[in-house]
Structure 1
Amino acid sequence: MTTLSNTDTTALQQIGSLKMCFYGAGSMAEAMVRGLLDRGLTEPEQVSMMNRQNVDRLAELSTRYGVHTSAEDEAKAAMLREADIIFLAMKPKDAADAISQVRELFHPGQLIISIIAGMTIKTLETLIGKPMPIVRTMPNTSSTIGLGATGVSFSSSVSADQRALAELMFQSVGLTAVVEEPKLDVVTGLSGSGPAYVYYLMEAMIAAGAELGLTQEAARELTIQTVLGAAHMVKATGENPAELRRKVTSPNGTTQAAIEKLDANNFSGSVISAIARATERAAEMGAEIERKATS
């Protein structure tokens, strides 16, 4: 096993020599594996994936990516014990039990990266029961196509090299924002749940187009291209979305009429309230997970 270095060796030079184990084999774990392999940051033989009992899923991932998988307890224990980086990617409801069952296999030479929604670093430290460097992340589902947005927080024992490694890995599936851990609830409300808000808007736009006479297919394609183009405009120009909106809102024109209707229904306020509620709910879920994990 390779020990994580605390020297000035760059993350890019280091990462290819490290063994990674994913405990949890869902869509987010797969997105990470695909991103790491597609960017050439590691090779399939350096990656292992495991879950509790879904053998068919493991076989699918092994065939698709060439990574090591196993449903056998002894092999799974070896994967965890020999890993340099362990990704905890199980479902929140299963996480406490799963971690408690394997924590004796963890040791301080490893880096723990959590993709478990709502589980705090403090709760993880309690469950693991020994000092470990822990990275807590909040990715979103767009990571599955390499366009994710991930909030990242670090425990106090994570070294500079380990921080660089974590950021590099999540940059393989999108962009990262390093935040203080309490702000991860805001990241959850904004970008973690954010794709759903955009999909909801798109649903309404498609429905409007169809109700006003377009075919369902035409309404869908026009909506997709409009949202895609708008996002690219913001990124390509670097301009504030409010300024871009003003540029396409001619006085007394169609866009102004539409914006006035949205304002009359408190569109902006509703979005802000929705994100605030999602942020609040993230904190509630974290508290629930902590109570169950430490009771």
Structure 2
Amino acid sequence: MKTIVFVGAGSMAEAVIAGICKQGTIHPTNVFVMNRADEERLQFLQVEYGISLVSADKSELHSADLIVLATKPKDVHTAMKQIRPFISKSCVILSVLAGVSISTIESGLGKHAVARSMPNTSAAIGKSATGVAWNSLIGNNEKQDILRLLRSIGIVEEVDEDNLHAVTALSGSGPAYIYYLAEALEVAAIRAGIEQSTARELIIQTIEGAACMLRSTKDEPALLREHVTSPGGTTEAGLQALEMGGFNEAVFKCIEQAEKRSRELGLPIVNNASSS
């Protein structure tokens, strides 16, 4: 792909832009970005990553090989209405929007090859976990181009479109859950008398090490947990406290509510008064 235009300039757009520019997937000057009104944000992205801005006449939209829909879900209908007259029929559409269906995109932009994906903000360092689904107009060459782009920012799993709601809840929102856990661990460590900087380093390495163990050993999480847990030991005591606090149920509810919200975001705009 020679030219990519991002429609929307929020955190997800920036994460993907940062990832593909750092990985050399495409030259930054061939990456264009536009949004509804925030010129200051656009200028920041241009200076930070060396990308280009869509001109007032939107000529870059017509020559784009790929358009990435990266607005807020509630704004996508307005954005599609604005860009539809300018995009060519051969342009491929990639969505990184939570909840918004392929059929909604087809309705808003007409007949195009469409890929609906859900990356996460770790795309900025090439570590995204992304799910992707396709419409019937995607050809093999277009599919491979999209997969190459998404693989340049992390791992990619092809899924049925309906499963993207669960992917959104799990890995799309997942970094926030890990950061929330890290916050709680840090506060607990400080309460226990550990310096904040020391606690932060220990927590980062612990999370990173556990993730590497999961990937390298291929063992089930339950088995790895058992290897750490000695009968009557400190780990067992900590796990019992988590169980008493309803840890598993809280995680189940977390994914359930995030998936529910993803489905709500795909409903007609009249039902989308907010999108957190």
Q: Residue 102 in 1 paired to residue 71 in 2?
A: no
Describe the SS at the equivalent of 1:116. coil
Report the AA paired with residue 75 of structure 2.
Answer: D
For residue 160 of structure 1, report the CA deviation from its aligned partner: 1.1
Report the AA paired with residue 209 of structure 1.
Answer: A
Aligned counterparts of 1:144 and 1:55: Cα–Cα separation in 2: 22
Normalised by the length of structure 1, the TM-score is 0.86
Q: Deviations over 1:87-125 (max 9, x none)?
A: 111122221111112212223211011112221111111
State the partner residue of 2:227: 247
State the partner residue of 1:138: 118
Change in CA separation of 1:203 and 1:68 when aligned onto 2, cut-off 3 Å: closer
Change in CA separation of 1:281 and 1:52 when aligned onto 2, cut-off 3 Å: closer
Q: Residue 22 in 1 paired to residue 9 in 2?
A: no
Q: Residue 237 in 1 paired to residue 217 in 2?
A: yes
Describe the SS at the equivalent of 2:267. helix
CA contact (8 A) 1:27 1:144 kept: no
State the partner residue of 1:81: 62
Normalised by the length of structure 2, the TM-score is 0.92
For residue 288 of structure 1, report the CA deviation from its aligned partner: 4.2
**Residue number among 94, 99, 103 corresponding to 1:122 in the alignment:** 103
Q: Deviations over 1:158-203 (max 9, x none)?
A: 1111111111111111111111111000001111111122122222
Gaps of at least 5 residues in structure 2 are none
Q: Residue 203 in 1 paired to residue 183 in 2?
A: yes
For residue 63 of structure 1, report the CA deviation from its aligned partner: 2.7
CA contact (8 A) 1:114 1:136 kept: yes
CA contact (8 A) 2:15 2:123 kept: yes
Aligned counterparts of 2:163 and 2:183: Cα–Cα separation in 1: 29
Aligned counterparts of 2:268 and 2:77: Cα–Cα separation in 1: 12
Gaps of at least 5 residues in structure 1 are 1-14
Residues 43-52 or 90-99, more deviating: 43-52
For residue 290 of structure 1, report the CA deviation from its aligned partner: 8.1
**Residue number among 70, 74, 77 corresponding to 1:93 in the alignment:** 74
Aligned counterparts of 1:289 and 1:139: Cα–Cα separation in 2: 23
Describe the SS at the equivalent of 2:9. coil
Q: Residue 33 in 1 paired to residue 14 in 2?
A: no
Change in CA separation of 1:151 and 1:216 when aligned onto 2, cut-off 3 Å: same
**What is the percent sequence identity of the aligned residues?**
40
**Aligned alpha-carbon RMSD (Å):** 1.8
Residues 28-37 or 242-251, more deviating: 28-37
Q: Deviations over 1:219-269 (max 9, x none)?
A: 222222211211122122222211111111111111111112222223122
Structure 1 residues 273-292: aligned runs within 5 Å = 273-289=253-269
